[in-house]
Structure 1
Amino acid sequence: MGTADTAVGGGYKTPEEEEHLTPAEERFEKARRTTGLVLGPLLFLIVYFAPLDLERPQQTLAAIFLAVIILWMTEAIPIPITAVLGLVLTVLLGVASGDTIFPLFSDGTIFLFIGGFIIAQAMMVHGVDKRFAYRVLSIPKVAGSTYRTIIAFGAIAATVSAFVSNTATTAMLFPIGLGIMNALSGLVHEQSDEDTSRSRLRFGTALMLMIAYGASVGGLLTPIGSPPNLIGREFIEKELDTTISFFDWVLTAAPIVFLMFIALCVVLIALNRPEVRKIEGAEEYVAEERTKLGKVSPGERNTLIAFAVAVTLWILPGLVGLLAGDTSDIYITMTERLPEEVVAIVAASLLFVLPTNWKERRFTLNWSDAVKIDWGTILLFGCGIALGTLLDETGLATVVGKGMADTLGITSIVVITALATLIAILISETASNTASVAIIVPIVLPIASAAGLGELALIPAFAAIFGASYGFMLPVSTPPNAIVYGSGMVPITKMIRSGFVFDLIGLALITAGVSVMARVVGLV
């Protein structure tokens, strides 16, 4: 479950706090965490004292990392705290010194997180995301058709989540979707020939799943769309000594995300076909809700300005490189002076200086709103980078990668990419998306290198990042899933069925798409 993907509006929450669980689900969660509390320390002791053919720092780190993985997957203790404890243990047990690991928290990507989260927070505070949603739904003939309404919600979710966290996007669209269902379920029920409870309409199931799944798919479009993207990208850049710019990421991801969205529309509508095609009264409801929003406020306007500045400056260096060449002076200057983290901080800072009421000295965002971003994810990122660096510097990643490559005998890039994607998807069904990336990417890279892939090792690692966002089968797989499951409109069997089919399609799309687009864009 992707608790670490909660980028705004609060920090870590336990499964019970994030969603309304049934008694059976509560018992499962308690058993899961209890298992982690016992199994994590037990495996640590076994690996730490076992007679393994490893150097002492490697064996100690292996014991720590295995315990961290177990605690991440079971969420026995909050995921960010698990990461911090793992890092502290590396110092206490002599794997590394504090002077070596703690400076890694000054990594530029951390400031990209902070800036991006603050901009997303401003969007939620001023309702920019909600206005965008109702604007799309007010397009003629969209709200009057069940099919078009479902697709429109998916398009909104995918677009917003490219820049706002998947969880925040779902949380924003969820009440809008509920409002539409409350207003229209009676009409759909009356127009349908089937005797179905209003809360169990297939239209409602498809709509709720589209909100959650669309947000998860859209989060792949940009590096800032979801925390696992930035964490995985950082691992790749450090290990392979390369750079994946914002522009290159979008170019690589856009065709894949587009195909994923098409597949998502087909799967959800085919498996949860709405009872009727057209509904009366929907367009009036959307128009009424849009009218309630009133005119664009100064806060919305200023937030859009800051957002436009960020996106423009993130994309501009890539466009300049495309037009003037990546050896031109202007491109080199822009990449040096406008790294993504600097752009994020500049844009976020605008929110504190652009006034909404100059006479009263009120500005677009105040610090009390800004501090509500998810600092736990930022903490997790710093710890994840530090642990990944230690895996590399101690040589443990290379030992594990070579051992697995030799044991499995895999040298095909297609097989390695498919396997990396599959493992990432499976882990993400029961563990945090961020934890999935932190587990699989540092291991996939040395496996690919040991298989002799060279710079092509980027492809399976990139695919694993995408696979980590594919948790669609269970309510506990991601917070978006949990949110829509709480509506009561999504039977667990339908979520499992829809999620399983989409996971299979995603496995094929990611494996093929990343392999092709990474070459087309020139990442390898």
Structure 2
Amino acid sequence: MMNIVCAPVSAKEENLEKNQLELLYHNNSSVRSKYELTTLSEVQCCEGNGLGLEPISNPTFVRHTNGLLPQVAIEFPNVKRVKARRDSQYPTKRDHMICKCLSLSITYAATIGGLITITGTSTNLIFAEQFNNRYPEAKVINFGTWFIFSFPIAIIMLVLTWLWLHFLFLGCNFRETCSLSKKRKTRREMLSEKRIHEEYAKLGPISYPEVVTGVFFILMTLLWFTREPGFVPGWTSLFEKKGYRTDATVSVLLGFLLFLIPARRPFSSSCSSSSCRNTVDESDPMAPMITWKDFQRLMPWEIVILVGGGYALAAGCKVSGLSVWIGRQLEPMSGLPPWAVTLLACLLVSAVTEFASNPATLTVFLPILSALSETLRINPLHTLIPSTMCVSFGVMLPVGNPPNAIVFSYGHVKISDMVKAGFGVNLIGVAVVMLAITTWGVPLFNLNEFPDWAVARNVTGGL
């Protein structure tokens, strides 16, 4: 039996650059020939030596020493080149481009998806609450009207953003991309697919708490849509007093029920799934799905404080007369058409939100734009809704949006990649929002008229 030992010719760095490896083997019977040594190519003796070397190839020469210990010098790939290939995460440049494209697609899809509903992002919630607080008589913003307006925007933006990212990172060969699904899967792809199925199988079956949460989520969405759909009377018409049933009523009611419903299935002695065992206290058979400690730990209190701070800022602008003063300073813009005022507001908000947080930017601009709309006698929704959507388009820098920072932290994209891709997405977003507010947004919110509820109420004087 032959004993194989692999060692570098020398531990010094300059000797490593000679591209030689010393293969030492012991054979007490006789000296092996060069032909017999070629069979060692299947022996991965260099695996785990820290150099990332490949299996041994044909030796170039045999050097006899003392007749007992032959030494064979074997050529191997350049150490620096092998290290560079090992350190690289991407087999080809196209793979690197695909990785960049997919990484940015995640953050852009998360941003665009948040536009669809009022609860999709914190900026939508801030707008809805501040708008209802400033204009309590306006009954135009609810879950249904917002969804009808924003859903086409999200679909158009997703398609255009995909086209832009494909052009930027993968070129214009869309036919090749669309035909990839018809090609035969490689072994690497099949292994990846198998790994995904294995990880999915580890999740186990859907647990009882997950089923209850899903049912409540669907029920909450239906109640939001049917509260005041607009084209037919909603379920709020069943109550005599108006103004007491809002979208928050549904959320609070269903959330309160989660504190009462047991997390364990009724008439069930134990939890069968692993997810159920992780969420249910086995010592308490009546443990609720959510406890007060869980609520305190998981509740995003920073959003509550931020929304409250926005109320305080809006009230301060109103009481002090700052809104009126700002509106008067912007009176020279009265000669511009409404769409031009809205476009300027969208561009300004999109630029500022790249360097400041989205909620803070919107909190500052909402009172100013409301006062501007009242002074120019433009429907406030004509400027507030597009500005609220454009404040989410902070996609050029990692600090502009939480999804940006998460994707950037993985190291697949550089800031220059985010700036180039984000600039195009910004332009796409502003263009699509302007298209929406000047087309289907006009009949939906009656934007051609200055409503009675938008009469300026800041009568306390100016600065």
Q: TM-score, normalised by structure 2?
A: 0.65
Q: Deviations over 1:443-484 (max 9, x none)?
A: 11111221222xx22111111100111101011111110000
Matches within 5 A, 1:129-208: 194-195=92-93, 201-208=96-103
1:341 to 2:235 alignment: no
User: In 1, Cα distance between the equivalents of 2:127 and 2:161?
Assistant: 24
Distance across 2 between alignment mates of 1:301 and 1:383: 36
Residue in 1 aligned with 2:198?
288
Cα distance in 2, alignment partners of residues 469 and 503 from structure 1: 10
- 1:457 maps to which of 371, 380, 385: 380
Give the greater-gyration-radius structure (CA).
Answer: 2
Check conservation: 1:420, 1:464, Cα contact below 8 A: yes
Alignment root-mean-square deviation, CA: 2.7
Counterpart AA for 1:206: C
Shift of 1:333: 5.4
Aligned-pair CA distance for 1:334: 9.7
C-alpha deviation, 1:411, in angstroms: 3.1
Which of these residues, 308, 312, 331, is aligned with residue 386 of structure 1? 312
Residue 471 of structure 1 aligns to a residue whose secondary structure is coil
Paired position in structure 2 for 1:242: 138
Counterparts of residues 116-515 of structure 1 (less than 5 Å): 194-195=92-93, 201-240=96-135, 241-243=137-139, 244-273=141-170, 277=180, 280-281=189-190, 282-319=192-229, 321-324=230-233, 330=237, 336=243, 338-357=245-264, 360-371=285-296, 372-406=298-332, 408-453=333-378, 456-515=379-438
What is the rounded CA distance, in whole Å, between the counterparts of 1:227 and 1:202 in structure 2? 32
Secondary structure at the aligned position of 1:363 is classed as coil
1:147 maps to: none
Bigger proportion of residues as helix: 1
Matches within 5 A, 1:81-120: none
Cα displacement string for residues 415-447 of structure 1 (whole angstroms, at most 9, x for unaligned residues): 111111111111110111001111111111111
8 Å Cα contact 1:303-1:364 kept in structure 2:
no
Letter aligned with residue 323 of structure 1: V
CA contact under 8 A between 1:302 and 1:364: conserved in structure 2? no
Aligned partners of 2:317 and 2:143: how far apart in 1? Answer: 26
- Conserved 8 A contact 2:227-2:236: no
Q: Whole-Å Cα distance in 2 between the matches of residues 425 and 508 of structure 1?
A: 12
Instruction: Say whether the 8 Å CA contact 1:421–1:510 is kept in structure 2.
Output: no
Equivalence for 2:53 = none
Q: Between Structure 1 and Structure 2, how many residues are aligned?
A: 327
Change (3 A) 1:491 1:296: same
Higher mean C-alpha displacement, 273-282 vs 258-267? 273-282
Distance 1:335 1:302, change over 3 A: farther
**Is residue 130–residue 310 contact of structure 2 (8 Å, CA) maintained in 1?**
no
Shift of 1:307: 1.1
The letter of the residue matching 2:409 is G
Q: Which runs of 5+ in 1 are unaligned?
A: 1-185
Q: Which runs of 5+ in 2 are unaligned?
A: 1-86, 267-283, 448-463
Tell me the amino acid that sits aligned with residue 490 of structure 1: V
The one-letter amino acid paired with 1:283 is: E
Q: Which has the higher contact order (CA 8 A, sep 6+)?
A: 1
Deviation of 1:236 after TM superposition, in Å, equals: 2.6
SS across alignment from 1:488: coil
Partner deviation per Cα, 1:178-222 (whole Å, 9 max, x = no partner): xxxxxxxx9x956xxx457x7xx1121111111111111111111
Aligned pair in 2 of structure 1 residues 483, 189: CA closer, same or farther (>3 Å)?
Answer: closer
Give 2:64's aligned residue: none
Percent identity of paired positions between Structure 1 and Structure 2: 27
- For residue 394 of structure 2, give the secondary structure of its aligned residue in structure 1: coil
